[in-house]
Structure 1
Amino acid sequence: MPRDSEDPNADVQYHLEVGPDDVTETVLLPGNPERLETIVEEWDDHDIRAHHREYRTATGTTGGTPISVTSTGIGSPSAAIAVEELARVGVETFVRVGSCGALQAEMAVGDLVISTGAVRQEGTSDEYVREDYPATADYEVVSALIAAAERLGYDYHTGITMSADSFYAGQGRPGFEGFEAAGSDDLVDQLTEANVANIEMEASAIFTLANLYGLRAGAVCTVYANRETGEFATEGESKASETATLATQLLARMDAKKRAVGADRWHAGLSLEE
């Protein structure tokens, strides 16, 4: 058994500095704290609840639905801390909102990628569970994200994401002074041939922890770069945040419909149409 130590997980969480009254049941998780401003612009109202280190949290409403956002910083270690501490204060659904590099030629810069699962090429989730445990997105969250992208008219793709621990060597890019990590020369080709859709740095840890704790998680990212075609542009950033915000509204309606009919999970026999 672990030795007793000081408890950093009191009502106000050690890293995020949030308590149960600061966040809603669904939280969007961008990496960049500055992206929070883009996200809350889509909401009806909001207020900042906490800002500590890379973790910035706001809570408000969208279409009458309560919603929160917490930035995680770059990478799976800090994203896992966010999931851990948000789960401790009652969060049940996590939606990663970010940017990514596409691996398939037909994915244009500005398109969305909605992850159905992730390759765990990050070390954080290995600290929690055996390496062959799958990192899968919750199908209700995936369904809500797809429905939101359809309603907004955004071009999107679904598929497997690879989450890396390194922006440079771990994603097949040269390091300082042209350094090349072992296997980096054919990494992108191998992932492309395996029909992996995109690369980013947090989704697989978020999915893994959510599944371990019986919570829901999904991810939607805007394509900033296509590693097959060489195209790069930081455009369409708001598309992912708009999609995640609308998906939160749809998830609330899905959950209400499940309660109304006594269903445990969303299924094809249910409908949000009146």
Structure 2
Amino acid sequence: MAPVTENKKGQSEPSQSGEPGRIHLSNPHLEKMEEDILYHFDLGTNTHDFPALFGDVKFVCVGGSAWRMKAFAQYIAGELKLGDPKDDIANICAGTDRYAMYKVGPVLAISHGMGIPSISIMLHELIKLLYHSRCSDVTVIRIGTSGGVGIDPGSVVITSQSVNPCFKPEFEQIVLGKTIIRSTELDGPLAQELAQCSQEIDEFTTVIGRTMCTLDFYEGQARLDGAICSYTKEEKTQYLKAAYEAGIRNIEMESSVFAAMCNLSGLRAAVVCVTLLNRLDGDQISSPHDVLVEYQQRPQKLVGYFIKKHMSLV
């Protein structure tokens, strides 16, 4: 059975309102539901006033770790002068242990766990949350960590295009037994704007490059240190060098479905990840803890500066 290719926003149903900047809801069945329960967020349209709670959201920042997203929420509270960075911030999803969500003014920070299945579930419910809240002109940015390819540890990569392990800008989804291929392009002007912000900060190296998204951490990323390995060191090195030649500058496990789902929903999106090591030099992360913590703060600083610029606070 031949795969079906969906163009950017090509299969999405526009929102009923027709308002510019609104979320594209790609599911006509939702309009017929009396209640929509966002199970993994522990939120529901009959139990929560979505427009009152989230209607002012303009920026959504997502990342794998719940702890890291809370730290980002506290950081952005200080940057936007909306609170003391040392103050505790309530977890909106405290009724579940799947995801954590924090709101600071127009900024929503949400954890997504590790890997495509976990972030996919989160994105389905996030997109519905933004739609039910009647949000418009929302920018969504994934901030996280990654393995670098041919660049120094601590470098920040702004993704131009997410590619699969065959270096193709595609995300494959099996739906009713059929393979659906979705675009993984990201917003080019947004990537350039973030790169300009990094130049203005001038604290760390930032590059725009392709990001390879894999289904696992070990064999899928050509590591030699997993419980199973079916290739030689030479084959691994050859593969990673080919990835570099294809314009790939880092490897992670969420960007493809993130790009595909944001495309279909009309969301302006970017991926900003710091590299913890250069995979051409090895497989295991060996930098001291304090160095890794500082690396992980770099995407937060960049995205925080971007948000401040948009709010005319720079």
TM exceeds 0.5?
yes
- C-alpha distance in structure 1 between counterparts of 2:60 and 2:269, whole Å: 10
Preserved contact between residue 144 and residue 250 of structure 1 (Cα < 8 Å):
no
- C-alpha distance in structure 1 between counterparts of 2:155 and 2:103, whole Å: 27
AA partner of residue 188 (structure 2):
Y
AA partner of residue 296 (structure 2):
E
Deviations 1:120-153 (A, max 9, x none): 349975247743x431111343133223322221
Q: Which of 265, 269, 272 lines up with 1:217 in the alignment?
A: 269
AA partner of residue 243 (structure 1):
L
Match of 1:38 in 2: 71
AA partner of residue 171 (structure 1):
Q
The number of residue pairs the alignment matches comes to 245
Q: What displacement does 1:162 show?
A: 0.4
Q: What displacement does 1:12 show?
A: 4.7
Match of 2:148 in 1: 102
Deviations 1:205-228 (A, max 9, x none): 101111112111101011101012
- C-alpha distance in structure 1 between counterparts of 2:128 and 2:162, whole Å: 24
1:55 counterpart SS class: coil
Q: What displacement does 1:89 show?
A: 1.4
Q: What displacement does 1:72 show?
A: 0.1
Q: What displacement does 1:251 show?
A: 4.4
Q: Which of 182, 185, 190 lines up with 1:141 in the alignment?
A: 190
- C-alpha distance in structure 1 between counterparts of 2:235 and 2:213, whole Å: 15
Preserved contact between residue 219 and residue 226 of structure 2 (Cα < 8 Å):
no
2:280 counterpart SS class: coil
Residue 27 (str. 1) matches residue 77 (str. 2): no
With over 3 angstroms needed to count, the CA separation of the structure-2 counterparts of 1:56 and 1:229, relative to structure 1, is same
Q: Which of 247, 262, 285 lines up with 1:195 in the alignment?
A: 247
With over 3 angstroms needed to count, the CA separation of the structure-2 counterparts of 1:55 and 1:188, relative to structure 1, is same
Matches within 5 A, 1:172-211: 172-174=222-224, 176-180=226-230, 185=236, 186-211=238-263
Sequence identity, in percent? 22
Q: What displacement does 1:49 show?
A: 1.4
Match of 1:265 in 2: none
- C-alpha distance in structure 1 between counterparts of 2:61 and 2:155, whole Å: 19
Preserved contact between residue 63 and residue 110 of structure 2 (Cα < 8 Å):
yes
With over 3 angstroms needed to count, the CA separation of the structure-2 counterparts of 1:177 and 1:58, relative to structure 1, is closer
Preserved contact between residue 184 and residue 260 of structure 2 (Cα < 8 Å):
yes
Structure 1 vs Structure 2 CA RMSD: 3.2
Preserved contact between residue 62 and residue 143 of structure 2 (Cα < 8 Å):
yes
AA partner of residue 228 (structure 1):
L
Preserved contact between residue 33 and residue 54 of structure 1 (Cα < 8 Å):
no
- C-alpha distance in structure 1 between counterparts of 2:68 and 2:231, whole Å: 31
TM-score, normalisation: structure 1: 0.77
Q: What displacement does 1:178 show?
A: 4.8
AA partner of residue 159 (structure 1):
G
- C-alpha distance in structure 2 between counterparts of 1:161 and 1:178, whole Å: 24
Q: What displacement does 1:36 show?
A: 1.5
Match of 1:53 in 2: 97
Preserved contact between residue 38 and residue 238 of structure 1 (Cα < 8 Å):
no
Deviations 1:164-184 (A, max 9, x none): 110001000136445326997
